[in-house]
Structure 1
Amino acid sequence: MVTHEDGIWSVAWSKRGNRIVTGSVDDTIKVWSGDSFEETNLLEGHQLGVLSVDISPDGTTAMSTSLDSQIRFWDLIHRAKTDDKTIDAGPVEAWTGAYSPDGRHVATGSHTGNINIWSTEESKKERTLETRGKFIMSVAYSPNGLYVACGAENGAVHIFDVPTGRLLHSLQGHSMCVRTMTFSPDSALLITGSDDKRINLYDVHHGNCLSSLAGHQSWVLSLSYSPDTTHFASGSSDKRAKIWDVKARQCIHTFDDHDDQVWGVAYSDDGTKLATVSEDRSMNIYQTG
């Protein structure tokens, strides 16, 4: 279904409240019912395209990053922008963002090769984790809250220890930009997707690459780990979304209904449905279990 007036670059599905949030190049964010898939709210405020969206663990708030350099927070319960929680991050200091598992922080990637950690309670930058590398294009928190990872434009992947801020691993394996990443529900695996068309699986504890998966014909733009722990989904600029079996290390299903690149994929909390969003302005919902 066509849902925005321009390409949709991001999607999130809440763990509580059963809401879907989409962010678009048309500068808007939309909220959808995870039951009826009807639009429940239009959120406006960004002046340029929305790069990423995420939903707080308690399902009450959404955050967004944009080309306008702002991090905005949105009240999903009362359907209003939380104006006092808007952060002016500065030029290219908040490329894509992700909530911490406790909802108290948001991590964003920086063009200077850093992860910026922002306090959601105080609406300010709390600390910076330095990679001394290239533009950070993707970030992810581990579900147990102990790790935060990032992917860079040169293919590097870095994993930090959250309590100490110490860099644990700098991982090789990709030859081009790492645009997306996700941790497994048990925080033991980190899965990354790259412009080199590969999906890599890393052992978080030991910092080694367990497998490199091929299947997409172009850039891998998005990843989502299924709550059932046995599958994950990917979206690509080859216009396809795929479901992968983690143990077998292979693709078990391909969706090819989009007419343009698939910028975002997100599982429902019970893992039975998958939302995909595309440059073609549409969102598709698939039954997966």
Structure 2
Amino acid sequence: MAMAAPAMRMASSASFLPRLLPPTVFSTARAQFLVRQLSLPLFPNFNIAIPVGISLGLPSLPEVLEGIWEGILKAVPKKKTSHMKKRHRQMAGKALKDVTALCVCPACGGMKRMHYVCPTCASTHPADIFSLAPTPSTLISSSGSSSLRIHDTTSPTYPLAQTITNAHKLGCHHLATARGPQTGNIFASVGFGGDVKIWRQNPDSKEYELQWDLPTVSDAGKGDVWAIALSADENFLACTTSDGRIHVWDLAAKEKIQTYETGGGRGAAGGGGSFAMAVDLSRDGRLTASGHENGGVYVFNNDAGRMVYSLSGLAKPVRAVAFSPGCKRLAAAGNAGIIALYDMEHGEHVGNLSAPGNRPSWITSLDWNDTGDYLLSGQLDGKVKVWDVARGACVATHSETDSALWCVRWLPPTERALGPGMGKGERFCAAGASRSLSFYREATGI
């Protein structure tokens, strides 16, 4: 009986091994060594003879460690970042910043970002917003989606007044309206498919309906339409093409009345000029200006039907041109990151507007306010700048988003209070890759 107890204990140790390790076949010598090591603390003078040729279902130690090595690595504690290091990163501007510009929507009572349309009250575009067109009472927006959306700017919450579905199948990249107190009856839109449409407001329903499609198919060999501009009396439409031409249409007669050539140049296609990326009509209807990919800026006299100025000053693509309300100045900007100002009486380059910095961002949009005192610019880095033209300085910079801005527009001035506790003042809107509309108002409005 004295020998029975050790044998039973040895048997229990041997039966424990298969449960501890998964079954596998390995050498007899290794099995004998492992069994001796396990039984040594229990039986110092006990030897077990394992016959040669018998395989035990025991794995090797490297195979055991290989299975648990990944778990051991995962269990290693990570280095904890100290509060001081977190604070240093926050002070350096590398930490996530809290969104503090929040307010309560006066319509639904929900929380929303300041200067943004409430997502509960107004639906925004599902794609990048490429163009804006203001009227005395509405703001029209277009994007990479097929719909055009019209917001009511007479209400403090800017509600969605109308949605024109399936306006352009491939999306819309340019809109144009006339600027004036009695305008807003007509607007034009250009789709990525090259289709140009004229929309007119129904006097009964106050909704916009399709009036006319410009016959651009016949001009397929002369370049696709890109930028557009509408005259102040809503009777004429100027269109630029990818080969540098500018067409002027009479909307009442529904016919093309003028075509301006810019000649051969870099990026010319089919014998035309450089890609015409921007166009504008003066409010008196006398001049037409175009900006091109090769940096050229051209001004045409509509009465004489010819080019009057070929302006220099920008060597990079021009993405925006805009006449001042009195037609005394022309502003042009683009990839150079500066705004060039030209005198329209003599066609001279009179100055530049630029912000300090080694790498200025592309300027994608320009717009003058109704008095001509301030110029609005939108940039690819998401910044909106308000320029005092008389002083030649930037008086305000807004950077609500890091996404690209494709369009900025002044809203027509209002004669009534903008909202509860708000006075009268000028407003503008910015839109782009953030897919939302950002409205700003004059902080010192009276």
Provide TM-score, normalisation by structure 2: 0.62
Q: Pairwise mapping of residues 240-279 of structure 1 onto structure 2 (< 5 A)?
A: 240-270=383-413, 272-279=426-433
Partner of 1:51: 173
The secondary structure found in structure 1 opposite 2:316 is coil
Partner of 2:279: 139
Q: Pairwise mapping of residues 79-228 of structure 1 onto structure 2 (< 5 A)?
A: 79-83=207-211, 85-90=212-217, 91=220, 92-132=223-263, 133-215=273-355, 217-228=360-371
Partner of 2:60: none
Q: Distance in 2 between matches of 1:30 and 1:183?
A: 27
Partner of 2:160: 39
Query: How far does the alpha carbon of each residue in 1:31-55 deviate from its partner, in whole angstroms, 9 at most, with x for none?
Result: 1111221111111321112111112
How far off its partner does 1:268 sit?
1.5
- Unpaired runs of at least 5, structure 1: none
Query: How far does the alpha carbon of each residue in 1:206-253 deviate from its partner, in whole angstroms, 9 at most, with x for none?
Result: 111111122283110001101132101000101111000000111110
- Amino acid of the residue matched to residue 238 of structure 1? D
How far off its partner does 1:165 sit?
1.2
The secondary structure found in structure 2 opposite 1:108 is strand
Q: Distance in 2 between matches of 1:245 and 1:74?
A: 35
CA contact (8 A) 2:296 2:318 kept: yes
Q: Which is worse superposed, 144-153 or 120-129? A: 120-129
CA contact (8 A) 2:381 2:402 kept: no
Q: Distance in 2 between matches of 1:203 and 1:122?
A: 33
Partner of 2:185: 60
Aligned pair in 2 of structure 1 residues 198, 170: CA closer, same or farther (>3 Å)?
same
CA contact (8 A) 1:94 1:116 kept: no
Report whether the alignment pairs 1:284 with 2:434.
Answer: no
Q: Which is worse superposed, 114-123 or 252-261? A: 114-123
Q: Distance in 2 between matches of 1:198 and 1:273?
A: 23
Q: Distance in 2 between matches of 1:79 and 1:68?
A: 25
Q: Distance in 1 between matches of 2:194 and 2:248?
A: 15
Report whether the alignment pairs 1:28 with 2:171.
Answer: no
CA contact (8 A) 1:178 1:193 kept: yes
Q: Distance in 2 between matches of 1:80 and 1:267?
A: 21
- Going by fraction, where is helix more abundant, 1 or 2? 2
Aligned pair in 2 of structure 1 residues 259, 88: CA closer, same or farther (>3 Å)?
farther
The secondary structure found in structure 2 opposite 1:96 is strand
- Amino acid of the residue matched to residue 230 of structure 1? D
CA contact (8 A) 1:258 1:278 kept: no
- Amino acid of the residue matched to residue 261 of structure 2? E
Number of aligned residue pairs: give it: 286
- Going by fraction, where is strand more abundant, 1 or 2? 1
CA contact (8 A) 1:222 1:263 kept: yes
Q: Distance in 2 between matches of 1:280 and 1:95?
A: 23
Q: Distance in 2 between matches of 1:93 and 1:140?
A: 18
The secondary structure found in structure 2 opposite 1:95 is strand
How far off its partner does 1:88 sit?
3.3
Partner of 1:12: 133
The secondary structure found in structure 2 opposite 1:267 is strand
Q: Provide the alpha-carbon RMSD of the alignment.
A: 1.6
- Unpaired runs of at least 5, structure 2: 1-116, 264-272, 414-424
Between the two structures, name the one with larger relative contact order (CA 8 Å, sep ≥ 6): 1
The secondary structure found in structure 1 opposite 2:225 is coil
- Amino acid of the residue matched to residue 113 of structure 1? G
- Aligned-residue identity in percent: 27
CA contact (8 A) 1:86 1:123 kept: no
Query: How far does the alpha carbon of each residue in 1:175-218 deviate from its partner, in whole angstroms, 9 at most, with x for none?
Result: 11111111111100000111111111110111111111222831
Provide TM-score, normalisation by structure 1: 0.94
Q: Distance in 1 between matches of 2:299 and 2:431?
A: 28
- Amino acid of the residue matched to residue 71 of structure 1? V
The 4+ residue runs of structure 1 with deviation greater than 4 A are none
The structure number with the bigger radius of gyration is 2
CA contact (8 A) 1:93 1:108 kept: no
